[in-house]
Structure formats: structure tokens, C-alpha cells
Amino acid sequence: MRSGALIALRPGGSRKLFLVHDGEGETLVYLNLARRMPDNLAVFAIEPHRIARVPLAHTTIEDMAAFYIGEVRKEQPRGPYLLGGLCAGGVIAYEMASQMVRSGESVELLVLLEAATPDAQERPGRIRKQRLGRLRQTFVDARQRAPWKRAAVVAGAISRKLMNALRWEIAQRNRQWWARARYHLLRGLLTRKLRWPRLIPELSVRQIYDSAQARYQPKPLTIASIVLVRARTGEGDDTPNRNVYTDETFGWSSIARELTLIDVEGGHSTMLEERFVNSLAEAILPYLQQNHGSIRERPLEVKMV
């Protein structure tokens, strides 16, 4: 069931949980979790605001949050609110909570699923270590060759990998420049309420979000409960943030009060899949069932679960 930007993943229930789309604009990633929520809890997903040829019609995190708050209030006019989101969705949900609090509204719970602040510091040399690992595998494979062929095989492999790395770096920089140029065009078009030009390739949700996040500075937030859910395992695109960032709280401890850390099974996104989602549901359910009431000031306290 859909109403505006909201999709009812689990209708009914006197309490309502609102989950913001991820960085790709997806909301069905929350369906497995919604199915495991109790009868008294309705679960709604918030989709990106789309217009013709523009999959995300906001160019700042603040504007996304303000629009989504309006959509949420159509379903639940007053707090206390339950908010959350995966990765990018968690960042937007944080800004929603911040705007709600500043307007005098009540936010009972904010659930950040593998979300990191825009200025969270990544572990140094992570990509370089991955490349060195692949290079070491080349040496292992070369040992199976005849001795007189090994040097040629290794030299050729190193040359190819260096060229591929150089090509990838150049292509990546070109892609980033082209995305930034179109993002600035989008900002101007939205301001003037003009259509996206047909001859220019469309931006993706990810490209728009990444450009918006680069300009976002979250403000300190004190609410009764903020839960940061961290994945334990995963590789590649599913690598958990604990293996990406140097700070165990992914940057949140400096701005988020009453921060509780919860570790669950699965990876960055697979923790929401059928095989792992029970671990996630069981971990956050106690916080969804609590009623913290109104916002109140408390000192910073990072709690490990």
C-alpha cells in the first residue's frame, strides 16, 4: 500500500516505524525486517521524491529530510516518532530527527543501520591492501608454471595490473567530474522548476545523494535513544563499516547523545536479508518496544550491546 512517498511494508498497529530509503533509493530492503515486527508496530518505508527523469528531486540532505518529515506527518501528525534507515537512509533519518527536535517535536528512537557520518575517517590503505592481495595471488599462481616462464608471467601480470589501476583511476575521476557537473545543473534546474534536458544522461539516486552528503554537516542531537547497528561480517560491497572506518561509532559519538552500539549477524546490506534478518530484528526489538517519552538532555554515553 502506497501513499505519496510512504509505502506501508507492514500496515496496522498503534505505533509506527518510518525507515528511509538507502543510497540507491531502495526501500524493499526493509521488507524482511518489517515482517518480523510485532502486531502493534506498523512499518513504513520512505521513498525518494521523484520527478520526470530525476530519481531524487532534492539536492541537500536538509531538503530531503524536510520533505520526508512532511510525508511522515501525513501518516502520524505528532510524535513521539520512531525513525531509522540503512546507510544513507540513516543519515537522512538523523537529519529528520534533528529538524523535528529543533521544531519542538518528540523523537522516541532513531535506528542507524550501518550508517556513517559524512566526515567519518576511513581506514588508510584499504584499497591498496586489496590490490596487494590480488598481486600476491599472482605470485602464488606463477609458482605452478615452469621456472623459465615464471618471470615473464609475473612481469606481465604486474604490468597489466598497473595499467588497469591507472585506467580505473582516470575513469573514476572522469565519472566523478561528470556527476558533479550534472549535480550542479540539477540544482539550478530545480531552483528554476525546469525539466531535465533530454540530451543529458540522468543522474542516479546514488550520484545525487553522494553529492548532497559531501555538503552535509550534521548537528549534535540529544534524544532519548539512538541505536547504531553494526554488521559483523561481509566482503566487497557488503563489507561492514567496522572494517571501513577507524572510529567504532562511524563518527556518531561526537554528535549523537545516548548512543548505543549493537552488533548483528551479516554484512553491510545482507544483515537485512532472510538468512540474517532474525539477528537484526531480535536486537532492535527491545528498543522499539520501549517508550522513552519526551526529549531530555543527557550526557554523552556510548553503550555497547
Question: What DSSP string describes 22-68?
Answer: -TTS--GGGHHHHTTS-TTEEEEEEPPP-BTTBS---SSHHHHHHHH
Q: Which of 262, 195, 263 is CA-nearest to residue 53?
A: 195
Domain span at residue 132 reads: 126-177
Task: Give pLDDT, residue 64.
Answer: 98
Q: What distance in Å separates the CA atoms of residue 264 and residue 271, rounded to the nearest whole number?
A: 7
Task: Give pLDDT, residue 200.
Answer: 96
Task: Give pLDDT, residue 85.
Answer: 98
H-assigned helices in 125-192: 126-142, 147-192
Q: Does residue 208 fall inside a structural domain?
A: no
Q: Does residue 272 fall inside a structural domain?
A: yes
Residue 135 has pLDDT above 70, yes or no: no
Task: Give pLDDT, residue 146.
Answer: 56
Does one domain contain both 106 and 233?
yes
Does one domain contain both 37 and 154?
no
Task: Say what the pTM is.
Answer: 0.85
pLDDT digits (tens, 9 = 90+) for 149-198: 656 665 666 667 667 766 767 777 878 899 999 999 999 999 999 999 99
pLDDT digits (tens, 9 = 90+) for 67-84: 999 999 999 999 899 999
Q: Which of 303, 215, 281 is CA-nearest to residue 41?
A: 281
Q: What distance in Å separates the CA atoms of residue 83 and residue 89, rounded to the nearest whole number?
A: 10
Residues contacting 202, CB < 8 A, separation 6+: 53, 54, 55, 196
Task: Give pLDDT, residue 163.
Answer: 72
pLDDT digits (tens, 9 = 90+) for 242-299: 999 999 999 999 999 789 999 999 999 999 999 999 999 999 999 998 654 433 333 3
Residue 144 has pLDDT above 70, yes or no: no
Does one domain contain both 13 and 153?
no
